[in-house]
Structure 1
Amino acid sequence: MVRGLAFCSSAIGALALASAAQAQATSSSQTSGTGDVPAAVAGSSEQGGLSERNAADIVVTGSRLTTNGNNLPTPVTIVSTEALLRNTPTSVPDALKKLPAFALSRGTAVQGDTTDNATGAYLNLRGIGIQRNLVLLDGHRVPPTSYTGAVDTNILPQMLLQRVDVVTGGASAVYGSDAVSGVINFVLNTKFEGLSVQAQRGLSTYGDAPSWRAGAAYGMNFAGDRGHVMASFEHYDQNGFLKEARKSGRAVYALAGSGTTADPYRLITNARNSAIGFNGSIFSGPLAGQQFVAPGVVGPFQHGTTQGAGLESGGDGFYGKNSSAAADVTTDQAFGRADYAITDTINIYAQGFWARSKNFNYFYPFLFNPVVVIGNDNAFLPAALRPALGGPFVFSRVFDDAEHRLAIKNETTSWQAAAGLTGSVGEFKWDVFYQHAQSTSRNQGLGFGVAANLFASLDAADEGLVRSGVANGNIVCRANVTNPGSHPGCVPINPFGTSPATQDAALDYIYGSIYNQPRFPLDNVSASISGTAFDNWAGPVRFAVSGEYRRLGMDITTGIPGSALADCTGIRFNCVQGTTTYYYGGGGITPVSAHQTVKEAAFETEVPLLANSAIGNASLNGAVRYTDYSTSGSEVTWKVGGDWSPLEGLRFRGTRSRDIRAPSLYDLFQPATLANSGYQDVHTGFNGLVQTQTVGNSSLTPEKADTTTLGLVFAPSFIPRLSISVDYFRIKMKDVISAVDGRTQVVQRLCEAANGTGPYCDLYDRPLAFSNRSLDNAPTRVRSTQLNGATLKTWGIDTEINYSAPIGADNRLTLRGLAGYQPQLTTVLIPGTDPIRNGGVASIQQGGGISKLRLTGFVSFASPHWSVDVQERWRSSLRQDANRSVVYNIPKVPAVAYTDITLTAFLDSDRDKSIFLSVQNVFNKNPPVYVTSAFSGTPAFQYPSIIGDDVIGRYFSVGARFKF
């Protein structure tokens, strides 16, 4: 903490390090595409409260009232996209994730899965969930790309973005559901003129992760400046890399131990699974414990140093080899807009965008797990070895060739068509808006074994020996001889110490892919009117009234290349007809189609209370919204806020709000899937197999959050261009939606405590009344579903400092600093269970842990011919685990800082043409090692670092930006 405070104190001078890029934007905002936003606002935060912002009124996210951002009671951080991309050239979302308000945001360094696009750019405010902040494009909702309801921000157009407004307080009353932790509004520059082109290339210091970006944008006026058109297209591509490409990835870390005082968790390297090898291991019979050391040759399994729980350091065992440390990402974004002034007071516009985002990452090698049974008469086994095996034997192995690793491939395509009218009548402004938008994702798992194909391929036989008892050397799949045509295309595989590279045909046969394709269509129509209702003793009383109707759908299709159940005809081992699922080692999403309609009406007002009085100026802001969901009924959200300026340069502000997040359509309508599972019943004492059902819950209601913010903005007149803001926030959520499994003892006891009533008892189907405790009343079905049973609490303090000063006649120094202190992030998943305290914790389980203190600073120096921008990012150290009873003999995950520098040369006096060199992670700082206890006893597949730390290392980008 001392080091953190030392850094913080130095950052107070340099903790403002962002507007530097903005100072430059200040002088060029009218010529380089930053549009009609006041330069100070476009380049820095609303919280800074710079006096020159009063020069213009703009619509700042956080209120539907046209206002200067400095006067809002709700904290809003405003950052120009020019500044974001100057310091982080890869993308606007990548740059946003470096700000302290964001924690646990997803990106290419997050491991993917087969059901959702985990490696997309999903932003997470406060670390409380990617689904609990609302993403807007120019003030309008963007359709989800994930089952959670979250948006992959890689799909948003970037070339014509002007700025990003980040509301760091609840805003459901103003903008609707999901704005629990805040709103992220990507604001377009609708007045762009001219032609802008850009191109860049990037490469890591290790010679990998190459990237390139190219884009163009054009805008012009027509019809005597009554009309305006603009369009853009941009392409970005970056390759990922395997974890072995970095030192920490090659070390193969794992946690050994059990987390007790007698056996604390300890970090080991060169970790291996002590049982399974890459060439095949034997688990039963006279040769149990042996492995295949060469094709058909059995030898001893070389063990490393025992670490307990089936884990060794060194030896021949299996480990998570050749998985991705970062995924490939490719994005294409196209945007077009036209607007025309029909009259002096009415404007019509139409706009649309199309975008595609692709992600790909390797998961881990294909493993025969659980183990399989193979006959000792397998044709690939030498005749001399077969008697020594003693009959059919249990076997497992790993295939780790590059062509047949498990991999995750995601592609999301989104498009939007929208049109609207804006106008004014006297003092009143109005608008009407309609959009149709759609996001379609294809989430694909590659290299998953097809059960029946695998089992048929493993049962290899000599064709002549099976047919006539005389061997002919032609090795085939036995099932196709005993049951001709039962498994067309079957290619026998030799798993006994043979290199997979020599068996491509067999591996191609046993591997398959599984995919799901969710489509989210959105139709949205809205209208609003705002203006001044009347003047009171202190000034104009302003209001905004809005209404909205939207229809959101979800259609999921899935694809498998054959029957959903295995055809076991002719297969002797492993396969069970009609019960073994077609995919071996993989799962899928069941098809579903559902929709919901939402009707909303909202009112917002701002009432001045004091104006130029002896005790200063003061105003009150309030909003209320009525929302009716076709799926979960009606809800009312509200916000009350106020600000008071007792003297010039000092302002106090605060808000209190009720915010909601509605359950996603998948939460509500996830189709039922059935399985048989082990179960011990507290109620009757039954212990055995029971049918289990995983299903959505159509009775879910919205999550509810109460948010409080209190803050001050200080912009002293005796230090021009300095502003300091400090804001406290507290969020308490109830009815939080979380997965609940009726098999767990905790859930069963909650039902017992309720004497058979309440939501937890709905998870059990019993044939008799609850009062019957005989074995005859054991449940016939136990459910796993989503319930409104969890709670979440967090609080913290945000600080921002901005300063800008001229240096000589033509130079400018700009400083900006942002600090986020968030010591609490506590979740209770099920009432009566211990809270999970993730504040200051590295754990990625149950939502994930966050560092208590996060700092980002920006410094910029700009002259007429060149500029230099520096960004510094730091986070505090982290405890290993949220569970205080778990014992580690490893220290905390250390604090870490990353430095980015960009040098820009201007080729003309207007700074419209420039070339740049950007170096991110200048000092090539490696991420501190972290391995979650979820992988204790198993060599981890994912890269050993926390979410948000830099796994790429030093990265160089060179490029050019020209505007004509």
Structure 2
Amino acid sequence: MYKSYSKIWTITVLFLFTVQGVLAQEDSSKEVEEITVTGTQIKGAKISGALPVSVISIEDIEGLGVDSGEELLENIAENGMNLFNEAENASGGVNSARGDMGAYNLRNMGTGNTLTLLNGRRLVNSPGYQTELIGGDYVPAMTVNSNLVPVWGIDRMEILRDGASAIYGADAVAGVVNNVLQKDYEGFQFRTKFGWFDNFDAEDKTFTAKFGKNFNGGATNISIFFDHYDREPISAQEDPRWGNSDHRQWTTCDLADGVDPEGRCLPAGSPWANSTSFRNTSVNNNYGQFDMVTSSEHGSSNPYNHVFTDSNGEFEVFPLGDSRCSNRSSQGGEVFDTGYGTCIAQDGNGTERYNLWGFTDARSDLQRNNVFVYINHDLGNGIESFTEASFYTSDYKITRHPSAPFSSVKHRVGPDNYWLNQMKLADGTAHFSGKQLYVDNYRFAEKMRRVEVEKKTYRLLQGFRGSFDEWDWEGALLISKATSDDITKDRISNTLLKEALWDSTAAAYNPFSAGVDSNIERLLIDVYRKGESELNMLDFKVANNEVFEMPAGPIGMMFGFEYRHETVVDDRDPRLDGTINYIDYESDTYPEVSDVVNSSPTGDVYGKRDVMSLFTEAQIPLAENVNAQVAMRYEDLSDVDRALVGKIAIGWEITDGILFRASASTAFRAPNIIQINEKIVVRSGTRNDYAMYRVEQLNGLDKDDLNSRLSMQRQATGASNLVSEESDNTSIGFVFSPPQVDDLTITADYWSIEKENTIGLFGRDNHTVQDMALRFANGTNNCDSFVGNPAVVRDAPDADEAAYFATAGVCPFGNVKHVEDNYLNLATRTIEGFDVGVYYNVDTSFGDIGIRYIGSFIDTFEQVPG
């Protein structure tokens, strides 16, 4: 159980009693002060109350007790999966955007389809990117870091739930999240919060402060907001279920009375009892498997064949004393003691498996600081100066499981390896002396990987606003930069490992000792990834909510332009980007292999983009109780095509308390800078080679003997011919506020997003399926020239396996070397759903009681093939 304790010191004391469900509320049109709501850039526009905008207020945030923007995400009903989280970072390794991260994902459209603002202007993207599954494979995604904003400085968070590209530009396909900070704050507030757990040795500490004061007779206000968050790590060892990746023991229970109070046990006789589906351990262990490189060395004439190796010349290492050391009758009870606390036995005895979670951290060690300074000054001539300055830092540390080599990049123990040649039977026979061995199913478990990520972001904005002849005008210059320094300690160099496995001295690496005195130190390296992201922006707009009168009321209009310059730098470690090359035993080098064990080669990326935008918006009263919004935006991007998008919305107050609202808009999302500027990206992952799978089936191989599922590499380069994703967004709904019940509001909205040209990949699985279809359609015709799917690059076929392919009726082919899979614009993707909300407030002598329910439901998510 998690517990917390907090104290507040403040000059102004506020008593607030709140009963909260999902804390979000519709934007209210009852505000006295004219404000700009996210859905419109015209102050005081009547259409604002008819736009589907949800608001999370400062009172809601206080009630939730969240400590970060990432936690606030979890309380946004419209937000989908946050894929930039700690669990995803662990699985993606150095190629993930690691550290203190969170990402908005409205409508579950995917990261990058939600535009994130601070006080109505863009936030800089996080410098780290990672990949998400779009189409058939993984595509680079970029996002604003949700933790950039000081949570306790927020006045409200506005969530525009329909497409808003016509209002704010690219990326607003699924909607907009606008973080509005408290303005002209007066007073001082100091807050501390301490949290701890009943069962874990970890604490959370939060310190926040805000200060605001008026100067110059009220003409100047300075507001300062500061957040500090410090949390301690939690080791997986502190909970038996976290610390053991084999969960089979938790699925079956010996219940004397048949009562299962925790509801975690499978029924007696369940086919899932002890299923390996719950076994999350790895075959890659420091008790490895070793295979003879030369086929002649595992012939029947060799004395160790079928004694200490199987017929393929393969043996495994086990702890000395394990029953598997001597359980084969062919051994006659003899144990091959390596002398290193281990034994050698035939392959097929049951691999020793590794507990991936044993000594890892279930939660990271994290410190975060956020400071925001707001300076507003009335110049006395009808012009107001506003200045924003913010600075964010975070320091993140976590322990992850140790590295294991890719199965496609096998290392070898050299014939002169010192420790190999010391292994002898009791009679002095050195069976494996001078042999060259493949290293298989191995993990360098001596050293856990230690990940340390430091992030920094600054943002400076200077703006002016005023009025001229009934027109409100505003302009600002924004400069922002984010950096990330990601270091993984205790990684393994392929080059250093190769040298150590062929060393004939006692300094050689010993892979037979299960990590004891193995000389692992000579293999260790630190691997870095450094990123930068910059956003510079200049904008100006003029607006008037009463340009001229119509019979039903005044027309409001807004005109504006925006220029922004964005740059992204992703600088990879020299051992990843090809500066330091590793050449494997198949003569492959960069970009097919890197010099870091278990990391795909990745080149550096540098890209920039200039965007010029012109936009306009109009509020049109069609009748006394009907208002419309029309907006258009033109964007000219320096590296992709231009875009022209529009929006129309209508609000019809049918009767007192019933409002009908609807909108239709076009939106766009430009390819992100990584997708365009990647020189080459290589990723490895386990996939099926479906052509080989079919050949094996037709040869009658048992499923346990299939070798068609293997580590398969994908190679892609940035595509400058990509076009922007385009979408048609529609929304229709109502707002019901019965006059008979004060402060009760019920809303319901149906929405749909139909998106064209989604940027994705055809995918390795699809490419090999296509390769299979082409090969079996061709049969055995023109085998010397037939290539199948040219995107599937294969090794030359093995001449010894010709009969094997003849049985299947196809031309011989080798294993997949890699798949060439470049980014492309896919066919139509459709997402549909509905939102409902119930909001009720009651004023009592104890304070304000607020009951909130908001639900967002997706009932259609379709991707047309192609």
TM-score bucket of the superposed structures, by smaller chain: 0.7 to 0.9
Are 1:88 and 2:65 counterparts?
yes
State whether structure 2 residue 535 is matched by structure 1 residue 522.
yes
Bigger Cα displacement from structure 2, 451-460 vs 555-564:
555-564
Equivalent in the alignment of 2:490: 447
Partner secondary structure for residue 430 of structure 2: helix
Q: Amino acid of the residue matched to residue 346 of structure 1?
A: I
**Matched letter for residue 726 of structure 2:** K
What corresponds to 1:604 in structure 2?
617
CA offsets, 1:590-640, max 9 Å, x none?
A: 1232211101111111111222xxxxx111111110111111121111111
CA 1:221–1:267 in 2, change beyond 3 Å: closer, same or farther? farther
Amino acid in the other structure paired with 1:392: Q
- Distance in 2, matches of 1:797 and 1:721, equals 23
1:626 aligns with 2:634: yes
Q: Deviation at 1:449?
A: 1.2
- Which residue does the alignment assign to 1:333? 370
2:198 maps to which of 205, 210, 231: 205
Indicate how the Cα distance of structure 1 residues 813 and 444 shifts in structure 2: closer, same or farther if over 3 A, else same.
same
CA distance in 2, matches of 1:32, 1:701: 55
The separation in 2 between residues aligned to 1:268 and 1:561, in whole angstroms, is 36
Q: Distance in 2 between matches of 1:796 and 1:676?
A: 36
Alignment TM-score, normalising by the size of structure 2:
0.75
Q: Which residue of 2 aligns with 1:137?
A: 118
Query: Which position in structure 2 is the counterpart of 1:384?
Result: 424
Matched residue, 2:831: 794
Verify: 1:110 aligned to 2:68, yes or no. Answer: no
1:165-244 correspondence to structure 2 within 5 Å: 165-244=158-237
Matched with 2:734 is 712
Answer yes or no: is the 8 Å Cα contact 1:240–1:328 preserved in 2.
yes
Matched, 1:393 2:437: yes
Please give the alpha-carbon distance, in whole angstroms, between the structure 1 residues aligned to 2:662 and 2:522: 64
Shift of 1:376: 5.9
Q: 1:208 to 1:737 in 2, by over 3 A?
A: farther
Task: Read off the aligned partner of 2:533 and give its amino acid letter.
Answer: F
The question of whether the paired residues in 1 share the 8 Å contact of 2:23 and 2:60 is answered with no
Counterpart in 1 of 2:767?
744
Structure 1: runs of 5 or more not aligned: 1-24, 256-262, 304-309, 463-474, 477-491, 612-616, 753-760, 766-773, 832-964
User: Corresponding residue for 1:816?
Assistant: 852
Aligned mate of 2:673, from 661, 665, 671:
665
Question: Take 1:84 and 1:327, find their aligned partners in 2: how far apart are those partners?
Answer: 24
- Contact 1:416-1:437 at 8 Å conserved across structures: yes
Alignment match, 1:542: 556
Q: Alignment partner for residue 726 of structure 1, among 738, 744, 748?
A: 748
Task: Note the alpha carbon deviations across 1:402-455, whole angstroms, 9 max, x for none.
Answer: xx2234443321111110110012421100111111112223343321011112
* 1:410 alignment partner in structure 2: 453
Question: How far off is 1:400 after superposition?
Answer: 3.0
Equivalent in 51, 58, 67 of residue 74 of structure 1: 51
Question: What residue in structure 1 maps to residue 655 of structure 2?
Answer: 647
Partner secondary structure for residue 63 of structure 2: helix
Q: Could you say if the C-alpha distance between residues 33 and 233 of structure 1 is closer, same or farther in structure 2, counting changes exceeding 3 Å?
A: farther
Tell me how far apart the structure 2 counterparts of residues 703 and 510 of structure 1 sit (CA, whole Å): 45
For 1:230-250, what per-residue CA distance to the aligned partner results, in whole angstroms no more than 9, with x for missing partners?
223322122343445445434
The 3-state SS of whatever aligns with 1:317 is coil
For each residue in 1:865-889, what CA deviation from the matched residue of structure 2 results, as whole angstroms up to 9, or x when unmatched? xxxxxxxxxxxxxxxxxxxxxxxxx
Following superposition, the deviation at residue 660 of structure 1 comes to 0.8
Structure 2 residue ranges without an equivalent (≥5): 1-7, 130-140, 249-270, 293-297, 299-303, 310-314, 321-338, 696-707, 776-788, 794-810
The alpha-carbon distance between structure 1 residues 369 and 730, as it changes in their structure 2 partners (threshold 3 A), is closer
Counterpart for residue 595 of structure 2: 582
Q: In structure 1, which of residues 783, 803, 819 is the aligned counterpart of residue 840 of structure 2?
A: 803
Tell me what 2:258 maps to. Answer: none
- What is the alpha-carbon distance in structure 2 between the residues aligned to residue 161 and residue 461 of structure 1? 64
1:270-297: CA deviation from partner (whole Å, max 9, x where unpaired): 7276854433334446333431425524
Preserved contact between residue 690 and residue 769 of structure 2 (Cα < 8 Å): no
Q: What is the one-letter code of the residue matched to 2:143? A: A
Cα distance between partner residues in 2 of 1:272 and 1:416: 44
Shift of 1:735: 0.2
Q: Deviations over 1:655-702 (max 9, x none)?
A: 1110111111111010135899999999xx9x9x99985200011111
CA distance in 2, matches of 1:272, 1:608: 62
Within 5 Å, which residues of 2 pair with 1:670-709?
A: 670-672=678-680, 693-709=715-731
User: What pairs up with 1:224-373 in 2 under 5 angstroms?
Assistant: 224-253=217-246, 267-268=275-276, 271=279, 276-284=284-292, 286=304, 287-288=308-309, 289-294=315-320, 296-299=340-343, 316-321=352-357, 322-370=359-407, 371-373=410-412
1:793-826 deviation line (CA, Å, top 9, x unaligned): 111111111111133x343322111112212223
**Aligned mates of 2:172, 2:11 — CA distance in 1:** 33
Distance (whole Å) between structure 2 residues aligned to residue 716 and residue 343 of structure 1 = 45
Match for 1:379: what amino acid? Y
Structure 2 CA distance, aligned partners of 1:102 and 1:59?
23
1:155 corresponds to which letter in structure 2?
L
Measured against aligned partners, the alpha-carbon deviations of 1:763-790 in whole angstroms (never above 9, x if no partner) come to: 799xxxxxxxx99xxx999732211114
Alpha-carbon distance in structure 2 between the residues aligned to 1:691 and 1:107: 25
8 Å Cα contact 1:77-1:167 kept in structure 2: yes
Gap change, CA 1:666 and 1:681, over 3 Å in 2: farther
Corresponding position: 1:47 with 2:92: no
Task: State the AA in 2 paired with 1:721.
Answer: D
1:505-551: CA deviations, max 9, x gaps?
x3332122322222111110000111121111111111111110111
Check 1:648–1:44 CA distance in 2 against 1; reply closer, same or farther (3 A cut).
farther
Give distance in 1, aligned partners of 2:851 and 2:278. Answer: 45
Amino acid corresponding to residue 230 of structure 2 in structure 1:
D
Q: What secondary structure, in the 3-state scheme, does the structure 1 residue paired with 2:86 have?
A: coil
Report the equivalent of 1:512.
525
Task: Quote the sequence identity (%).
Answer: 20
Q: In 1, Cα distance between the equivalents of 2:170 and 2:768?
A: 34
> In the TM superposition, what whole-angstrom CA distance separates every residue of 1:273-329 from its partner, at most 9, and x where no partner exists?
6854433334446333431425524437799xxxxxx998xx732242344433333
- Partner SS state of residue 174, structure 1: helix
Instruction: Determine the C-alpha separation between the residues in 2 that align with 1:527 and 1:788.
Output: 34
Q: Distance in 2 between matches of 1:675 and 1:587?
A: 5
CA spacing shift, 1:679–1:82, aligned 2, 3 Å:
same
The answer on 1:436 being equivalent to 2:479 is yes
Bigger drift between 420-429 and 94-103 goes to 94-103
What is the DSSP-based 3-state SS (H/G/I as helix, E as strand, rest coil) of the residue aligned with 2:61? Answer: helix
Query: Residues 434, 619 of structure 1: CA spacing in aligned structure 2 closer, same or farther, 3 A cutoff?
Result: same
Relative to the length of structure 1, the TM-score reads 0.68
Q: Does 1:422 align with 2:422?
A: no
Within 2, Cα distance between the matches of 1:338 and 1:234?
18
Contact kept? 1:253, 1:267, Cα under 8 Å: no
Indicate if the aligned counterparts of 1:253 and 1:269 stay in contact, CA closer than 8 A. no
Moved more, 436-445 or 284-293: 284-293
Q: 1:522 to 1:203 in 2, by over 3 A?
A: same
The residue number in structure 2 matching 1:904 is: none
Task: For residue 154 of structure 1, report the CA deviation from its aligned partner.
Answer: 1.1
Quote the Cα distance in structure 2 between the aligned partners of 1:785 and 1:750. Answer: 21
Paired letter, 1:706: D
Change (3 A) 1:337 1:762: farther
The residue type equivalent to 1:589 in the other structure is: T
